[in-house]
Amino acid sequence: MGETCTLAARPIRIVSLVPSQTELLFDLGLYAEVVGITKFCTDPEDKVKNVKKVGGTKKFNFDVIAELKPDFIIGNKEENYEDGINQLKQDYPVWMSDIVTLDDALDMIRQIGVLVGAETKAKNMADTIHNDMSHLGKGLNKTAAYFIWQKPYMVAGSDTFIDEMMKCCGLQNIFANQDRYPETEIDILQQQKPDVVMLSTEPYPFKESHVEALQKILPDSKVILVDAMYFSWYGSRLLGTADYLRSLKNKLE
């Protein structure tokens, strides 16, 4: 994001404000160093349950953070809120990621590895992800829409990591030329007739009942439920993304 974050030494008290980057820190072996996370940081489940919660991704508890005395805070431009991040920057070193492409994600993994003293492990992880994703094979060449919310219906548009993962799978996002997360209506889907309609498990927790209801309304499309973590988590979760997308491709072919 064009700013400099300076650390006097390898951090030993880290607060992570992003679920996917929290998972990354633990997968890099930072078990003792991670002292604060958000209430949305759910993985790895056995590791995060005993870590102090510092609020949500868009509403920080500054008093709790102060009590933790962090020497390093990790955030993300999209998932966190600017006013809160700017307030934290007054008192702590804050490092921010800005993820849109797979290369952005791999660069983030490598950079965090350097900052937390796990450079070799992070580099090997990024290299493995790059290799796995580059061998996904031929794309599906199908049109698709990816729902993230209902009431109102919202979908993933251009310049999003979700759109990037759709491209990796060979899915052409029918909302790729619109805002990042535009609202839409069912009649638009009925007119566009995408080959695939994906309902994500987060941030809105779509269920099979939603799939069944929309399939009746959109008989020309294949409506499916997808695990949002493999489309929107851009840390170590990417180690399993290639296999997930490969399985999804087999289901849709």
**CA angle (215 as vertex; 212, 220 as ends), nearest 5:** 165
Class of the domain covering 14-133: alpha beta
- What's phi and psi for 208, nearest 5 deg? -60, -30
Edge-to-edge, what's the strand order for the sheet holding 52-53? 52-53, 34-37, 14-16, 72-76, 94-97
**pTM of the predicted structure, to 2 decimals:** 0.93
Q: For residue 209, give the 3-state DSSP assignment.
A: helix
Q: Where in the chain is the domain with CATH 3.40.50.1980?
A: 14-133, 142-252
- What does the pLDDT profile of the chain (253 residues) look like in tens digits? 788 888 989 999 999 999 999 999 999 999 999 999 999 999 999 999 999 999 999 999 999 999 999 999 999 999 999 999 999 999 999 999 999 999 999 999 999 999 999 999 999 999 999 999 998 877 788 999 999 999 999 999 999 999 999 999 999 999 998 889 999 999 999 999 999 999 999 999 999 999 999 999 999 999 999 999 999 999 999 999 999 999 999 999 8
CATH code for residues 142-252: 3.40.50.1980
At 97, is the secondary structure helix, strand, or coil? strand
